[in-house]
Amino acid sequence: MPYARIGYGMKILVLNAGSSSLKYALYETSPEAAASDSDQLLGEGLIERVISMADAIKTAFTVLSKALGGEAVAGVGHRVVHGGTYPASMIIDAAVESTIEALCELAPLHNPHSLEAYRAARAHLPHAVHVAVFDTAFHQTIPRHAYAYAMANEYVADKKIRRYGFHGISHRSVSLRFAKIQRKSPADLRLVICHLGNGSSICAVDRGRSIDTSMGFTPLEGLVMGTRSGDVDASALLHLILHAGADPAALLHALNNKSGLLAISGVSNDMRDVLTAADSGNEHAKAAVDAFCYRAKKFIGAYSAAMNGADALVFTAGIGEHSAPIRAGICEGLDRLGIVVDPALNQAKSTTARCIGHSPISVWVVPTEEQLLIARDTLAAVTAISRHN
């Protein structure tokens, strides 16, 4: 393990392969740098409309070659959406690789791209430690009463049908960052975290552990999202298939890609466009904003109940970090629950973590740092191997 010099900076590459994009970032970090938040971002980029992940990886390496300056990469952290029941990040060996492959069945839009990115990156960097950082892992602490669907056993036993939860990298990153800001241990905090982006989910983080989250078997469950419906009565779908001639595959596609804000507003899946249309009087756009805020509010109430109260409500991701009207809309009428947003603090423009409501349950905006968390998990794996060797 020639590259892992404990006490010195190591180059860690982060690869986040989406359904049609590749985000990448190169960090120089060390255990000391991670502890003092002084990891250095050496370069990052986004490649969109990816047709071949192998070509995209090649492009990323070309772009980063200057930042690498001929130095070796010690570790590569791969974001993997579905990690089944893995409770933590894993060094990718043959067994982990084949588990990720088997999980393609449960996450057909995501895991195949992560695998392709991993295989291409491994071909470029065969001596680096490759680590899978899963979006599901943080939610493995959810108790059975919250993750099990109350369905007849014949349909759930041995079929892996359960709630897994997603966005775990983001929820974990925000909960750790919030604890650091408060100078508290995560074990002393109960947080409701709203990750509101193109995909959205809310998570109840009870003393550092996810105890419930709004996404389920797939990222379709829960909130109204850009193009996803969130919760729908399963029998409405079966009714459409059995009695209205709906094609199951087309229906699944519509639930994921043509629903949510896009369907209700008839305008866009992008909250900025929907808000602009609502402001200019478009009733459908207003209905979409109302549905989005109301569904989020319901989960905030549910998770406050699940934890017998909360210390803070935290907003993150594209909409959560940038949209004051949506944060205000979600929190409207929650004062008796102890949640009040301060209008001036909410509207102040900032890109850093900040309090926007000093109510009994304080309200915060904390930018998500998914890439940094992936880099640090990878660093931890590389360091553990070096110590061992």
Element (H, E) at 362: strand 362-365
Distance, in Å, from the CA atom of 210 to the CA atom of 171, rounded to the nearest integer, reads 8
Gap between the Cα atoms of 360 and 175, Å rounded: 18
- Which C-beta is closer to ligand AMP: that of 97 or that of 273? 273
CB nearer ligand AMP, residue 16 or residue 323: 323
Active-site amino acid positions:
135
Counting every residue written for the chain, the total comes to: 389
Closer to ligand AMP by CB, 182 or 198: give it: 198
Distance of CA 38 to the CA centre of its chain: 23
Q: Which H or E run contains 28?
A: strand 22-29
Nearer to ligand AMP, 184 or 272 (CB): 272
- Closest residue to ligand AMP using C-beta atoms: 318
Distance in Å, CB of 198 to ligand AMP, minimum: 4
Question: Closest CB to ligand AMP among 28 and 369?
Answer: 369
**Under 8 Å CB-to-CB from 249, ≥6 apart: which residues?**
none
Concatenating the DSSP letter of every residue in 77-117 gives EEEES--TT--S-EE--HHHHHHHHHGGGT-TTTHHHHHHH
46: enclosing H helix or E strand = strand 40-47
CA distance 60 to 56: 6
Shortest distance (Å) from residue 269 CB to ligand AMP? 7
Nearer to ligand AMP, 136 or 316 (CB): 316
Between 23 and 376, CB nearer to ligand AMP: 23
256: left (phi over 0), alpha (psi -120 to 50) or beta: alpha
Residue 46 pairs in a beta bridge with: 23
Distance CA 12, CA 67 (A): 12
Supply the minimum distance, in Å, between the C-beta of residue 267 and ligand AMP: 12
263: its two tokens = 């369907």
| Residue ranges in contact with ligand AMP by CB under 6 A | 197-198, 226, 270-272, 275, 317-319, 322-323
Helix (H, G, I), strand (E, B) or coil at 155: helix
What DSSP line would sit under 274-315, residue for residue?
HHHHHHTT-HHHHHHHHHHHHHHHHHHHHHHHHTTS-SEEEE
In the complex, least distance from residue 70 CB atom to ligand AMP, rounded to whole angstroms: 33
Closest approach, Cβ 322 to ligand AMP, in A, equals: 3
- CA–chain centroid gap for 125, Å, is 26
Per DSSP, 72 falls in state P
**Between the CA of residue 175 and those of 126, 204, 300, 335, what are the distances in Å?**
34, 10, 16, 23
Closer to ligand AMP by Cβ: residue 240 or 324: 324
Nearest distance in Å: CB 320, ligand AMP: 8
15 touches 60 (CB < 8 A): yes
Q: State the minimum distance, in angstroms, from the CB of residue 270 to ligand AMP.
A: 4
Tokens in use for 322? 């940038």
Question: From the CB of 346, what's the least distance to ligand AMP, in Å?
Answer: 13
Q: Can you spell out the DSSP letters for 220-249?
A: TSSS--SS------HHHHHHHHHHS---HH
